[in-house]
Structure 1
């Protein structure tokens, strides 16, 4: 049996995964976690073979949880199940030790295939993610933070130049609310919690 732990902070998504797992006779659900720290604690207690884990959760993010989990003796296999398909998220998860990476809008058939594959020690990625990995290894030049939209990139560029949200709004002819939304998106996609961290990341990449 592929003993499995779900780690996701969205109850409805956990419910959907739970329902899918009941259709797979090879899989046994042994627990559910709502944040990264709880995922690590339950993994140590329940010793699942497979963890279906979101990258963005409160109380300990998914990337930190992956690093901690893969450092354990008899480490579980990690299948990332998330909404984010940007290069930063994908490669950070793989470097941390994830064996698979699929998006939350993946259909049930593909999700089941990914669960069984990673649960049996294989590596698997959704089509969109596989395309990004192929492009990376083909050596295609990439601009920093390819997961950002052009508008988000412009906002990050101006943030790195010390502009306030109001100044950015005036310069780009946007509302303050729109700029705040772009800043929130940048934080989520870059996996940072503050403006200072975002600016540091941007400057490191020469943006």
Structure 2
């Protein structure tokens, strides 16, 4: 992980009902019980129970996916919905929810900037990123540095969303396993190299399909550091171009981060988008 990537686990706190505070809606408790924090009560994995009703704002461009998400988390109260970053930020500042579920790729205010603005104005609001593989891996470090508590893939469906929301509401960080495997890679132990790649060089190597400036922004390092890393990578791998280095990296057991997916010529959607819509439709039909 890059410098500053060790994100501290955020503890959810209950503020008073006074000016600027948020009061949680307790379940089966008087006002004194509402301040005990995010204790989870026994419940099914699909429908966990808390000692309060978590209030949620969803920022998602696609109306069907928004509706499906609401159905997937019945243990939460969705108090606001938005289709772009500006609308979402206004709602979040006004409503001060416990949790925001937001797509990275939204109009108005983009990904990590939206996370930063939420964190500045609503420090007790947790943020769960809901997106697809390309944006999840391309912007993973940026959104986590900016205050997100986790990254969820919309294409993974109801059970994984419930787990992500539950983890985040309990003050834990969450990351889809497939994304975690991609952004935290190590060379295969069965393959030896005369001069091993450093952790930073591996982070740059698996992102060679991105522009140098994009790599620098994602990893939070200077552009000249990226350029030095690439020169070192080419030397260590014995290649002359970044394309050759990327190909050799695959042979060494690395997985390059996913490119933007192609779109169906008929629907105009990527495979992940179609799967996310299918999950949303199933949730609305109450099909498990």
TM range (shorter): 0.5 to 0.7
Give the corresponding residue for 2:85. 36
Change (3 A) 1:133 1:3: same
Q: Counterpart in 2 of 1:167?
A: none
Q: Which whole-Å deviations, capped at 9, do the CAs of 1:166-189 have from their partners, x for residues lacking one?
A: xxxxxxxxxxxxxxxxxxxxx9x9
The residue that corresponds to 1:142 in the other structure is 202
Asked whether the equivalents of residues 93 and 122 of structure 2 are also in contact (C-alpha less than 8 Å), the reply is: no
Q: Is the 8 A contact 1:87 1:147 kept in 2?
A: no
SS of 1:71's equivalent in the other structure is helix
Q: Residue in 1 aligned with 2:68?
A: 16
Preserved CA contact (<8 Å) 2:216 2:223: no
**1 or 2, which has the higher helix percentage?**
1
Q: How many residues align structurally? A: 161
Structure 2: gaps (5+ residues): 1-52, 187-197, 231-288
Deviation at 1:11, TM superposition (A): 1.4
Contact kept? 2:183, 2:203, Cα under 8 Å = no
Displacement of 1:130 after TM fit? 1.9
Is 1:61 paired with 2:113? no
CA distance in 1 between counterparts of 2:68 and 2:216 reads 27
CA contact (8 A) 2:57 2:81 kept: yes
Q: 1:101 aligned to 2:151?
A: yes
Label 1:133 to 1:145 Cα distance change in 2 as closer, same or farther (>3 A): closer
Q: Which has the larger radius of gyration?
A: 2
Distance 1:30 1:70, change over 3 A: same
Corresponding residue for residue 192 of structure 2: none
| Contact preservation (8 Å) 1:85, 1:147 | no
Cα displacement (A) at 1:127: 0.3
Give the TM-score normalised by structure 2: 0.49
Q: Pick from 125, 130, 155: which aligns with 1:76?
A: 125
User: By how many angstroms is 1:120 displaced?
Assistant: 2.3
Tell me what 1:118 maps to.
168
Structural RMSD (CA): 3.1
Counterpart CA distance in 2 for 1:12 and 1:51 is: 18
Cα distance in 1 for residues equivalent to 2:216 and 2:62? 21
Mapping of 1:154-173 within 5 angstroms? none
TM-aligned CA distance change 1:59 to 1:133, over 3 Å:
same
The structure-2 alpha-carbon separation of the partners of 1:53 and 1:190, relative to structure 1 and needing over 3 Å to count, comes to farther
Query: 1:89 and 2:89 equivalent?
Result: no
CA contact (8 A) 1:86 1:147 kept: no
Residues 6/73 of structure 1: CA separation in 2 closer, same or farther (3 Å cut): closer
Task: Tell which has more relative contact order, 1 or 2 (C-alpha 8 A, sep 6+).
Answer: 2
